[in-house]
Every structure is written in C-alpha cells, then in structure tokens.
Structure 1
Amino acid sequence: MSTTIENLPAGRGVAAPPPGPDPRGSRPDARHRRGAARWFVLAGAVVVALVILAPMLIMLLNAFKSPTDYSQNGPLSIPTSLYFDGVVNFWTRVDFPVKLWNSFFISAVVAVAGTVLSLLNAYAIGVGRIKGRLGIVLLFLLANMLPQEALIYPLFDMARQVGLSNSQWSVIIIFTVIQSAFGTYLLASVLGTFPPALLEAAALDGAGRWRILWQVVFPIVRPTLMVLVIFFFIWTWNEFFIPLVMLTTNDTQTIPIALASLQGDRMMDAPTTNAGALVSLIPALVFFLIFQRTLTRGVTAGAVK
C-alpha cells in the first residue's frame, strides 16, 4: 500500500523545492539602483530640453520687447510692457504673406517630388537589382556629403543657361535632386531587404513592374515615405544659401532670406528680428504638430514585425 505525504511522520516529509527567482525582479537594492538610474536619465533629459528651449525662450522674450527696453535692460530681462510693433514691422517690411507662400510652395513641391524620385530610384536599385548597385548607393551617399558652396556656381550657371534665373523652379529642381539623394540612399537599403516571396507571388499573378511598385511595394514602405516627406519639407523650409543666390527679387524669395534682410552692415533691430524669427517659426511648427503622429508611426513602423 502506498504511503501519502500526509501519512509520513513528522520530520520525514518530502523536501520543498528550492525557491525560484522572484518574478517581480531581483532584490530591493537592485530595484533601488534601477529607480535611481531612471531619475538620473530623467534629470539629464530635462537638462537637454532646457538647453534646447533656452534660445527659443530668449527669442520669445525679445520679440515683444521695445528697442529702448532691449538696449537698457539687455536680452535676458523680462519685458516691462508688451511691444507688438516688431511683429507689425516685420510683416510689412518683408511682405511676409508673399514670402510665406513662396516657402510653402517650394517646400511642398520638393517634399513630394523628392519622395517620389527617391522611391523610383530605390525601387530600381533595391528591388530591380541593377548592376553596380553598391557603387550607385555609394555615389548617392557621396552626393549627400558635398557642401552646397562647391555646387552653387555650376548650378547658377546652368539655371541661367536654361532660362531659370531668378525662378523658384530652379530651387525646386535643385533641392529635389539633393533631397532625393538622401531618400534614395535610405530607401535602397530598405528595399534591398524586401521579401522576395511577395514579389514572386505578384509576378505569378501577372503583375508588371509598375503594378508591383504601386500595389505591393508602396503600401509597405508608405510610413517611411511619409517620414521623408516631413523631413524634406522642413529641411527645404530652412534652406538659406542656395535660395539666396538663385532668387534675387522680393517676389520670389523665401522666409529665411527675409529674416536675413533685416540685418544691416552696422546695426540690427533686435526686437524686429526676434519677432520675425518667431512669426517664421510658427508655420513650420504647425506643420510638424499636424504630422507628428504620422512621423512617430513612420519611425516605429519597422520596429515590430
């Protein structure tokens, strides 16, 4: 007859299994160390955020400060009274609505055209597997490393020869090519790892190259393309050197050039300049806030499969 554990004499029972690892983590001192590390990381993030926001806060203070208040109390003082003439002066002196439309038009066209061109180039390099793929990708990488100062004279001369001098389309074409170099380098790496099974299945169903591109490849890489659209728009919006050289009249110039026109050789109206920088920042900030969720989804699209 078998003997159960309950019938065993005291002191002769089955030994209990050794305790396993604590499912909630390790010892309290380890949890304390992790908690302290998190606080250090949080403190570092707060310090970095303050360093980034400090110039913007100084700009906000001086945008509504009178020239007399600025000269007497300095740039770090609180305004004694709100001064709105700086915003009005900037709006009227540079014809801000025209500059705003020029910047938006150039940036939007470059963002869309540069993304489409990047997708076509990367599709041919990454999916089409053309010969010399590595060398072409390195060429696009080299194009991203060239300074604009080395390109401006031949670009200006070519624009003049084809009749695009002082034309916004010259800036659009230049920045579309420049931005697509980065987009092609990025997308070619992504499409180089594209699942071949999807392409083979689409080819067996009778799909051609264009149909595979727009119905198979495009839906999968669409989050990445939206990230490129946002980056290309903001990068083009902030460009200064090439538009300064290519656009010579007020009706074609952009917002960064309008800001530079407020500074003279011997003097600068600091409140008007700060007010102009604040007004110029608002459209790009609104654009970023509108597409913030799209940017977050695009950046994290490939993190989880």
Structure 2
Amino acid sequence: MAPVVAEPASPPPQAPRRRRLRRGLAGLASYGVAAVLTVAVVVFLAPFAVILLNSFKTSADFRTNGPLSWPAEWDWAVLAEVWERVDFTQKLVNSVQTSLGVVAIAVVLALFNAYAIGIGRSRFRVSLLIFFLAANVLPQEGMIYPVYYLFREIGLYDTKIGYTILIGVVYSAFGTYLLSSVFASFPRELLEAAELDGAGRWTVLWRVVLPLSWPTLSVMCVFFFVWSWNEFLVPLVLLISNDNHTVPIGLAVMESQYTSDPTGLSAAALLGVIPMLVFFFIFQRTLTRGVTAGAVK
C-alpha cells in the first residue's frame, strides 16, 4: 500500500496580492526618486546652460533676444577677447601654482600632525584635536585683518608664497582632524609587527602608514585643490597686484560700478569653470576610489 504524502498547504490567496502590491509600491517609489533626482539635476545644470549660451553671444544679440535665447550666431571671439582682457594665462598659472603649493603644504603638515596625534598617542591628544577643530570653524573674516597687518610687517604681503603658506596651514587643520580619526583606528598589531622587524618611526610612517592611508590622502588632495582654487576673500586682500591675481579675482575685476558686459562675464565664468571640470575628469577615478575605500573601511 503506497504511503500517503501530504500535499503542501497552499498560500493564502491574499499573499500574492500583497507581494504584487509591494512590488508596485517599490516601483512607484523608484520612479519618484528618479523624477526628483532629474528635477534636481536640471535645476543644478540650468545656470551652467545659461552661461554657456551667453558666452558665445554678441552684446547686440544679448540685448535683442535676452539671456535665455539661442545664439543667433556662435561668436567664438568673445572668449578670446575675455582671455586677452583678463590676461587669463597669467591668472591660470597663478591659480595652479598656489593651489598645488597649498595641497603640498596642507597634506604634509596634516600627515605629520595626525601621525603624532593618532598613532604616536600624544599626551595632549584631546587638547590638540580641540585646537584643530577650533581652527576649522574660525571664519576667514575674523583672521584676515590680523594676517594682513602681520604680512605687511614681515614682507609677505602681496606675495604668492605668503598666500600659499597661509592657506596651506589653515587647510592642514582640517586635514589633521580628519587623519587623526583615521590613524586612531589603525591596526596596532601591524605597527607592532613593523617595530619588531626593526622599523623606526620614520620607516613606519613611509612604508606602512602612508601606503595604507593613500585613499584618504588622495581625497584630501582633491578637496584642498578645489578649495584653494575657489578662494576669494583671502587673495582679494593679500594679492593686490594684477600679476599675482588668481582666476576668481581676475574674473571678478571685470565687473565695475559703471560698466557691465553680460556676455563677457558669462565667457569669463565659463573660462573659470572649465579648469575645474578638466580637473574632476582627470581625478574622478581617484576621488571615487578614495571615497569607496573610506566607506568600505
């Protein structure tokens, strides 16, 4: 006699309906998120589109058709005229020099400071972190005039090297605070193993800590470069000579009290944005890897 096999109980009729309802709600939620992100992207890119359109218009075309119209004729001479008027080559060289110098100073100082605080376990670790945190929240408006008088006394006023050192030291405070938290969670077993192999502090820093911290350092380099490139108040006060102006300052002096050139200003804004776009296209892989490595860690 064949054994009797019990048939599995069929799911209640409401279960498939509930699953379909959940899938439908999930689909609607995904479409809603996509719609919101699309609107946000359009709103974000709209000013850049307006700048791009007006950068190739003549002044007569702008006055006749307005800022939102398609150019009647693409006038590439506007960019060339603004380039020569602003002496954009010199401004571009100044911005690249100062930004690279700021990155070098800030990253090196932050690396040494964080190594002493996070791994060296300095006695005044908490006090130093509070100090660097306070330096991060100090507004530029509060320090610019004391720095102005100090630089005039020591001969660093209106010099690119003085400006570079100042911004590099200021940015190193943020880098120190960031790296200290990273180094504090560094595996002590790895450091102790390197010390047992006869590695000194310098060897541990260069051969162990630095390679493992490179993702964080690469992100810091990108951020410091962009922040330094966009600095406005400090170079406006400390770099008054036309030969020392950076790109933001050189573009800002185009607008005066009695004259206005909307197409020229749009072309100048486009020239100021293009280097940053090129920079991000070159280093986007480095930035993505650094952020991903920090998230996985």
Normalising by structure 2, report the TM-score.
Answer: 0.94
The CA deviation string for residues 234-254 of structure 1, in whole angstroms up to 9 with x for no partner, is 110011111111111111111
Aligned length: 291
Q: Does 1:156 align with 2:151?
A: no
Among 282, 285, 295, the alignment partner of 1:293 is 285
| TM-align CA RMSD | 1.6
Question: Which residue number in structure 2 is paired with residue 207 of structure 1?
Answer: 199
Task: Give the whole-Å Cα distance in 1 for the aligned partners of 2:6 and 2:255.
Answer: 89
Is the radius of gyration larger for structure 1 or structure 2? 1
Question: Which residue number in structure 2 is paired with residue 37 of structure 1?
Answer: 29
Question: Which residue number in structure 2 is paired with residue 56 of structure 1?
Answer: 48
Question: Which residue number in structure 2 is paired with residue 240 of structure 1?
Answer: 232
Task: Give the whole-Å Cα distance in 2 for the aligned partners of 1:13 and 1:269.
Answer: 88
Deviation >6 Å, runs of 4+: none
Question: Which residue number in structure 2 is paired with residue 85 of structure 1?
Answer: 77
- Higher helix proportion, which one? 2
- Offset of 1:7 from its aligned partner? 2.3
Q: Does 1:195 align with 2:190?
A: no
Normalising by structure 1, report the TM-score.
Answer: 0.91
Question: Which residue number in structure 1 is paired with residue 221 of structure 2?
Answer: 229
Task: Give the whole-Å Cα distance in 2 for the aligned partners of 1:77 and 1:131.
Answer: 64
**Where does the alignment leave 5 or more consecutive residues of structure 1 unmatched?**
1-5, 20-25
- Offset of 1:284 from its aligned partner? 1.4
Question: Which residue number in structure 1 is paired with residue 106 of structure 2?
Answer: 114
Among 26, 48, 68, the alignment partner of 1:76 is 68
Q: Does 1:178 align with 2:173?
A: no
Tell me the amino acid that sits aligned with residue 290 of structure 1. Answer: I
The CA deviation string for residues 189-208 of structure 1, in whole angstroms up to 9 with x for no partner, is 11111111111111111111
Question: Which residue number in structure 2 is paired with residue 23 of structure 1?
Answer: none
Q: Does 1:280 align with 2:294?
A: no
* 2:294 match: secondary structure: coil
Task: Give the whole-Å Cα distance in 1 for the aligned partners of 2:131 and 2:33.
Answer: 39
* 1:27 match: secondary structure: helix
Residue identity (%): 48
